[in-house]
Structure 1
Amino acid sequence: MKLRYFTTILSLILLMFVLSACSGQKESAENQDTVTVKHDLGETKVPKNPKKVVVLELGFIDALVDTGIKPVGVADDGKPKFINEKVREEIKGYTSVGTRAQPSLEKIAALKPDLIIADSSRHSGVYDKLSKIAPTIALQNLNADYQDTLDASATIAKAVGKESEMEKKLAEHNEKLKSLQDKFSDQKQSILLIGNTNEEITVRDENFFTSQLLTKIGYTYGVGDSQKSEAANGESVNIKMTIEQLLEKDPDVIILMTGEKDKLDKYGKREIEKDPLWQKLNAVKNHKVYEVDRFAWSLRRSVNGANAVIDEIDQDILPAAEKKS
């Protein structure tokens, strides 16, 4: 009886040892095949070198393409023109997975992705559901400021195993930014980004991605923390102003971000441009009102988006300002 008892105990010990070894080998194999990525909503084990990636915010597309990966799915609101034309051509063949605000879980699942890149503001409520479809990382883009955007790009690069490529991209961006900063020297012109002007004037606040980029370049942004801002339909951060309030700010430079929502007359002018108070603005009197593409200056929150803004200021806006001064 004693011999049988000890034999049973020994067998159990051996079984536990084997199970523990197997478990350790399995965990070790999993760790070798995955990389742990820290993001806004926690930590996620992502398979190394994922091939099929779905992105749920437009700004993430550039970061992914910069690493040599084309997304298989994009939440593009059913409007491919929201994506930069050159980039759109590079990712040709992707599947639209619905709107950025409410992406289709069914369409995402059908693509069988290795990785999903979500927005930590928009998609926190469906993060668990997305994670059941595929490993999901959540980063700031909708409400991202300049540094958030650079950090998100670096995190995406880590998730897809292309950190060195992104480090090079960020270094090139810093050089481009420094080159433009040098041209500004000591001049401190105030500037405002304006979107719609139909019923109310909507001004991007000082924490917005492009607003912060402009201050990095050398401008002084025309509104500060004292202004009340609000999320406008979840699309961007705006400050609502009347023409009288805008005249009080009276920026040296106005950037009109034009888009499909703007009401224009037959001459392509906004109604507000006929207002006598608009004509009193220094930027208007000094011919320093510039029209730019809203998709490029507002929706493309990425390193490449920042580079495009820098190039437009360097090649178009600064030379135009010099001619008019």
Structure 2
Amino acid sequence: MTSTRRKAWALGSLLLVGSLGLTACGSSDSGKDGAGSGESGGGTHTVKTAMGDVKVKNAPKRVVVLDTAELDSAITLGVKPVGATQATPDAGFLDYLPESQVKGIKSVGEIANPNLETIAQLKPDLILSSKVRDEKRYAQLSAIAPTVLTETTGYPWKENFRTHADALGRQAEADKVVADYEKQVADVTKSLGGKEKAAATEVNVVRFIEGADIRIYGKKNYIATILADVGLGRPAITDKAVDGFSYDVSPEKIDLADADALFTSTYGDPAKAKATDTMKSGLWKNLKATKAGQVHQVDDELWIQGIGYTAAAKILSELNAALTSA
């Protein structure tokens, strides 16, 4: 960044801080709608976040989300963000979301490396992210707009969704989303033959990652919570997962991933992620899941990256179809 641009950015940040300060002083915790600019009033409410209490408008209209979970939450709750980060520069905004729901969203850089100037230019009235992604940028982000951070992403996605709903002023909508999810979970469990039969079916999720070992997912991550809600069994290997998240193996130990059914996804190039060679190996062909025709390749963005209720509804449908196809 040039010296002139740095000065302009610093001045812009100061003006934004001043503007936000005036807004906070001029608003109250009452009011119907947060539409319009920050100076137009509409009321505010306090959201409990990982960084402490944050005052936000009652109904933010210009929202920037800095991770996939926050994007799923906003779309699920009927709010199209004005800006969002992407996993990589050439990635889209979660391929399981309809084009109509993401069209017009401005890219604000990569996850964990957002472009602060681009965010500021969008004049947001709310920014959503997590400490694990953006704690070191919290002061700068807060100078642009009220910033709501959850502690982390993944495993606590349901609690995070409630925080997002509170920040967006969409608690009633969130109640319906959760109720719909719970009904769908119950329907899938019933479709699989009930709780006992579901528990007797052991399922593993395996992710091939370019530049890393093969990941066998444990019991403390997003996808694991969905499997647990349905009541599906998990192989003993999942108890060895580091911090409950994953147990990583080389292709030579892929037999450790065996289960009644396997769901596999790939992040990056399949060849470079070892997916291609692993699935051609004798070890893979001898897995009981392979022999039973119960290896299902799934979309990585949906099953692993999405982390929200819109993704979960689609996952439940795919899970049900796969496990009742035999």
Q: Which moved more, 1:121-130 or 1:152-161?
A: 152-161
For the 8 Å contact 1:194–1:204, the answer to whether it is kept is yes
Residue type matched to 1:36 in 2?
Answer: T
Cα-Cα RMSD = 2.4
Match for residue 323 of structure 2 among 309, 313, 318: 318
The 5 A counterparts of 1:114-263 are: 114-139=125-150, 142=153, 144-145=154-155, 148-184=156-192, 185=194, 186-187=196-197, 188-196=200-208, 200-222=213-235, 223-228=237-242, 238-243=246-251, 245-263=253-271
Give TM-score scaled by structure 2 length.
0.79
Q: Which moved more, 1:195-204 or 1:101-110?
A: 195-204
How far apart are residue 241 of structure 1 and its match? 0.9
For the structure 1 residues 115 and 317, does the alpha-carbon distance in structure 2 shift closer, same or farther, using more than 3 Å as the test? same
Does residue 111 in structure 1 map to residue 125 in structure 2?
Answer: no
Q: Report the counterpart of residue 304 of structure 2 in structure 1.
A: 298
The Cα offsets for residues 56-86 of structure 1, whole Å up to 9 and x where unpaired, read as: 0112122212332210000113344351354
Match for residue 51 of structure 1 among 57, 61, 65: 61
For the 8 Å contact 2:62–2:124, the answer to whether it is kept is yes
For the 8 Å contact 1:72–1:94, the answer to whether it is kept is yes
| Structure 2: gaps spanning 5 or more residues | 1-23, 31-42
Structure 2 distance, partners of 1:273, 1:106, is: 44
Aligned residues: 283
How far apart are residue 29 of structure 1 and its match? 4.2
For the structure 1 residues 191 and 85, does the alpha-carbon distance in structure 2 shift closer, same or farther, using more than 3 Å as the test? closer
How far apart are residue 91 of structure 1 and its match? 2.7
The Cα offsets for residues 156-185 of structure 1, whole Å up to 9 and x where unpaired, read as: 222122211111111111100111112232
| Structure 1: gaps spanning 5 or more residues | 1-25, 231-236
Match for residue 75 of structure 1 among 54, 71, 85: 85
Is the partner of 1:97 in helix, strand or coil? strand
How far apart are residue 261 of structure 1 and its match? 2.3
How far apart are residue 259 of structure 1 and its match? 4.2
For the 8 Å contact 1:82–1:299, the answer to whether it is kept is no
How far apart are residue 141 of structure 1 and its match? 5.7
Q: Report the counterpart of residue 6 of structure 1 in structure 2.
A: none
The Cα offsets for residues 125-156 of structure 1, whole Å up to 9 and x where unpaired, read as: 111211111100002563x21xx212222222
Structure with bigger gyration radius? 1
For the structure 1 residues 190 and 129, does the alpha-carbon distance in structure 2 shift closer, same or farther, using more than 3 Å as the test? same
How far apart are residue 106 of structure 1 and its match? 0.9
The Cα offsets for residues 6-25 of structure 1, whole Å up to 9 and x where unpaired, read as: xxxxxxxxxxxxxxxxxxxx
Give TM-score scaled by structure 1 length.
0.79
The Cα offsets for residues 192-223 of structure 1, whole Å up to 9 and x where unpaired, read as: 11111777322223211002211221222233
Does residue 96 in structure 1 map to residue 104 in structure 2?
Answer: no
Structure 1 distance, partners of 2:259, 2:96, is: 31
Structure 2 distance, partners of 1:85, 1:225, is: 30
Q: Report the counterpart of residue 22 of structure 1 in structure 2.
A: none
For the 8 Å contact 1:62–1:87, the answer to whether it is kept is no
Percent sequence identity is 26
Is the partner of 1:220 in helix, strand or coil? coil
The Cα offsets for residues 270-297 of structure 1, whole Å up to 9 and x where unpaired, read as: 2112222222211112111111111110
For the 8 Å contact 2:217–2:238, the answer to whether it is kept is no
Structure 2 distance, partners of 1:270, 1:307, is: 29
Q: Report the counterpart of residue 84 of structure 1 in structure 2.
A: 95
Q: Which moved more, 1:77-86 or 1:203-212?
A: 77-86
Runs of 4+ in 1 over 4 A off after TM superposition: 26-29
Match for residue 287 of structure 1 among 293, 296, 313: 293
For the structure 1 residues 44 and 270, does the alpha-carbon distance in structure 2 shift closer, same or farther, using more than 3 Å as the test? same
Residue type matched to 2:215 in 1?
Answer: T
